[in-house]
Amino acid sequence: MPDRLVVRTVPVDDPGDLVARLPHRQSVAWVRRGEGLAGWGEVARVSIPAGEDRFTAGEKWLAELFDGAEVTDEVGVPGCGPVAFGSFTFDPTSDGSVLVVPAAVLGRSSGRSWLTTIGDRYQPSLEQVAPARGPAGLRWHDGSLTAPQWENAVSAAVARIQAGDLSKVVLARDLCAAASDEIDARALLARLAARYPDCWTFCCAGLVGATPELYIRREGPVVSSLVLAGTTPRGGSAADDQKLGAALLASAKDVEEHQYAVADVRRALAPLCDRLDVDARPSLLRLANLQHLATYVTGRLAAPLVPGHSDALGERASALALAAALHPTAAVCGTPSGAAMELIRELEGMDRGRYAGPVGWVDADGNGEWGIALRCAELDGPRARLFAGCGIVADSDPEAELAEAQTKFRAMREALEG
């Protein structure tokens, strides 16, 4: 860890496509509808060991790093000054959680653009860089379980739910690809951002994806969350689209699955807020390839978090602390969460790593955005490991769940294939 960060944020002209400005493969990004943050270079990084305290350990590391920073901020909006990008493992028993502080961050929000640099000597160029090349020579193969094996796992989960062991569990599967050369995350980011502008396109330490689900956004005392659970494809026409959406809204199975996820978010945020507003009923969120049941949650944080206590990154809970309070929701784990986590370990046959864990960014004031790492792939040189998961309840059909998982793989498959 460097002894002291010297940080400067200055306004810049609109840089255009943030992803197109990333100068090399080792980049971080969080972009939606052309706004967000894109960073490169690396001032500091920490790999956080497995454990229930991995979020607390990350906050402690950041507090030590940011507290002594010398910061000049000429813009003064969330995402300015020193920023850390992070992604955390889904399961507390898994290693792999990471926080990265880039040397340069280019940001855009609400008509304002800025550049943050760390270090007196670092003067990055904002010239357009050559487009990254997509992977070539892709070969696909099964992940930890074949399709029939995964269907058997779904059947076993349904039996356990019907026996009363739990109400819902989310089962995921993986799919693997190998290219002829190292995969450049920037090419995948560009394709995902263009095709799924309503998702949060992200990259952190080799984890790349476009998630539709926002765990938490914190801007000062104001927080918001987008809860998704319950999925159906898009239709081939407007009429088909409307018919599929109406069926999703009327589906007892999907509405039940969704209600569990909303209850988890309400339960986690209510003790931290002096006001919390939750949509009375779900609405439809239509993305490029899927429709989801969606509930919007907004609130105002109480301060301080606990009487007489100050959060590591500010009086109110930081965006990272809020993500930790929310994880894991029923949308990615199940309910009750303890029983669901044990069943996932028993039936999935794999370590999820950072799939379905929190991914996002936090600044020195505790502002930030954290999503759930969905529709993503873990890159390792020429290899990519893709993930997709489905919520399983008492009347889930294994064949239908497999079809849903295949649909959810499509975003990353097409990003890799071009």
What's the token pair of residue 173?
Answer: 């599967």
Work out whether the CA dihedral 246, 250, 253, 257 comes out positive or negative.
positive
Residue 408 CB partners (closer than 8 Å, separation 6+): 231, 290, 374, 375, 388, 389, 390
Amino acid in position 262: V
What are the start-end ranges of the E strands in 214-373?
214-219, 222-233, 273-278, 283-286, 290-301, 334-335, 358-363, 368-372
Residue 324 CB partners (closer than 8 Å, separation 6+): 55, 56, 358
Buried b (16+ CB within 10 A) or exposed e, 335-365: bebebbbebbeebbebbbbbbbbbbbbbbbb
Q: Are the C-beta atoms of 353 and 288 separated by less than 8 Å?
A: no
Catalytic residue among 52, 59, 151, 213: 213
Element spanning 28, H or E: strand 27-32
Please give the span between the terminal C-alpha atoms of the chain, in angstroms, as a whole number. Answer: 38
Amino acid in position 230: G
SS (H, E, C) 43-78: CEEEEECCCCCHHHHHHHHHHHHHHCCEEEECCCCC
168 is catalytic: yes
Catalytic residue among 168, 257, 378, 408: 168
How far is Cα 80 from Cα 62, in angstroms, rounded to an integer?
15
What's the token pair of residue 298?
Answer: 């907004």
213 is catalytic: yes
Catalytic machinery residues: 168, 213
